[in-house]
């Protein structure tokens, strides 16, 4: 039986694919290369030393997606479950292109669930996000924290997709799902064979820092220095992508038939943007060129996780430090220069 990983050539998808293979699972990758490329697939293959199956497909294409499921049946290795990463993820871009985000993220998830149902595949691990909580009243947030108004169309799509999956679980009795609400993944595989390599200008903090330090970008802009935080910059919960990949494997292996369960994945510690800049210097002995700017639309002030449910039910806890993650991210960046 095979695990379909949508968005499998992307940042988190690629690391999870490797973790799955190392845990003995057969992996089938699917991606449309909207924010990745074939190099990522080849790098995954080199790490797991296997000709892993890959399909270049957009999850909104119902016919093409159905052909992937059918092809696996013909190979006598049918898809038994799905880990669903495929989505656009830029908060800033979502503000400018909300219709695109709703069509791709929400529409794509609907299509995926329809095709899964067609082939009687009723197990899914969904890549959700702490953005579902909006601007929280209290931190850290646990899974019972209420969904506030989404601060961006991207956040809205994550709320909507969770709702669609919960609805699917309510009508199919043997449907099982894990909704993984993760915080801010950073870092790279310690081998520096795979890492975060977005197309175009990075929207996420760490790849922009790395590209700026490498001289490929101008100075980093710190968006907002007047937030009600200790140093005025936004606070987030940064966790190593390898810890996050491990969590997906555990979530898949601990799916309970008939249950849809949400899990926060974070370190439980908030770190400000300015603290990240300082930590990067400590981890690499390199300065981060940066300027101070105005707040950015769609950003929340501060959020970090209470991940005790994941620890208690999945046996998962973040193991790696932010310094390790930043050092791994920089090691990966140096392979790109």
Q: Render pLDDT for 135-169 as a digit per residue (tens, 0 to 9).
A: 999 999 999 999 999 989 999 999 999 999 999 99
What pLDDT is stored for residue 151 in this prediction? 87
d(CA 58, CA 96): 22
d(CA 149, CA 270): 22
What pLDDT is stored for residue 199 in this prediction? 81
Q: Which of 48, 43, 51 is nearest to 20 (CA)?
A: 48
Residues annotated as catalytic (active site), given as ranges: 154
d(CA 101, CA 117): 24
DSSP reduced 3-state for 99: helix
What pLDDT is stored for residue 261 in this prediction? 98
Domains of the chain, earliest start first: 2-186+238-266 (3.40.50.720)
Longest Cα pair distance anywhere in the chain, in angstroms?
58
DSSP letter, residue 120:
T
Q: What is the dihedral of CA 154, 158, 159, 161, to 10 degrees?
A: 130
DSSP reduced 3-state for 199: coil
What pLDDT is stored for residue 249 in this prediction? 98
What pLDDT is stored for residue 92 in this prediction? 84
Q: Which of 130, 121, 110 is nearest to 59 (CA)?
A: 110
d(CA 315, CA 254): 10
What pLDDT is stored for residue 303 in this prediction? 95
Question: What's the pTM?
Answer: 0.96
d(CA 56, CA 38): 9
Provide the 10 A C-beta neighbour count for residue 188.
30
What pLDDT is stored for residue 319 in this prediction? 97
Residues of the chain scoring pLDDT < 70: none
């Amino acid at each position: 039986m095979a695990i379909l990983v949508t968005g499998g050539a992307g940042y988190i998808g690629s690391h999870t694919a490797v973790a799955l293979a190392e845990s003995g699972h057969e992996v089938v990758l699917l991606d449309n290369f909207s924010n990745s490329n074939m190099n990522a697939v080849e790098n995954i293959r080199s790490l797991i030393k296997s000709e892993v199956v890959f399909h270049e497909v957009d999850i909104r294409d119902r016919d093409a997606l159905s052909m992937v499921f059918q092809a696996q049946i013909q190979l006598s290795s049918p898809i038994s479950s799905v880990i669903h990463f495929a989505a656009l993820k830029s908060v800033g871009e979502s503000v400018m292109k909300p219709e695109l985000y709703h069509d791709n993220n929400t529409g794509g998830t609907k299509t995926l669930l329809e095709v899964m149902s067609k082939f009687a595949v009723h197990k899914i691990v969904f890549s959700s996000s702490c953005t579902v909580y909006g601007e929280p009243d209290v931190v850290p947030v646990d899974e019972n924290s209420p969904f506030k108004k989404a601060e961006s169309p991207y956040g809205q799509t994550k709320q909507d997709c969770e709702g669609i999956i919960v609805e699917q679980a309510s009508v199919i009795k043997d449907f099982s799902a894990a909704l993984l609400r993760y915080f801010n993944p950073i870092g790279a595989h310690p081998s520096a064979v795979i890492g975060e390599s977005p197309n175009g200008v990075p929207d996420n903090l760490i790849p922009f820092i790395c590209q700026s330090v490498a001289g490929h970008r101008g100075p980093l802009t710190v968006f907002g220095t007047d937030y009600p935080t200790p140093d005025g910059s936004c606070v987030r919960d940064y966790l190593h992508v390898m810890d996050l990949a491990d969590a997906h494997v555990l979530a898949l292996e601990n799916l309970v038939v008939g249950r849809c369960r949400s899990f926060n994945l974070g370190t439980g510690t908030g770190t400000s943007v300015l603290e990240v800049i300082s930590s990067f210097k400590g981890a690499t002995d390199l300065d981060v060129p940066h300027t101070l700017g105005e707040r950015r639309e769609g950003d929340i002030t501060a959020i970090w996780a209470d991940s005790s449910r994941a620890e208690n039910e999945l046996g998962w806890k973040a193991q790696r430090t932010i310094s390790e993650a930043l050092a791994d991210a920089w090691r990966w960046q140096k392979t790109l220069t």
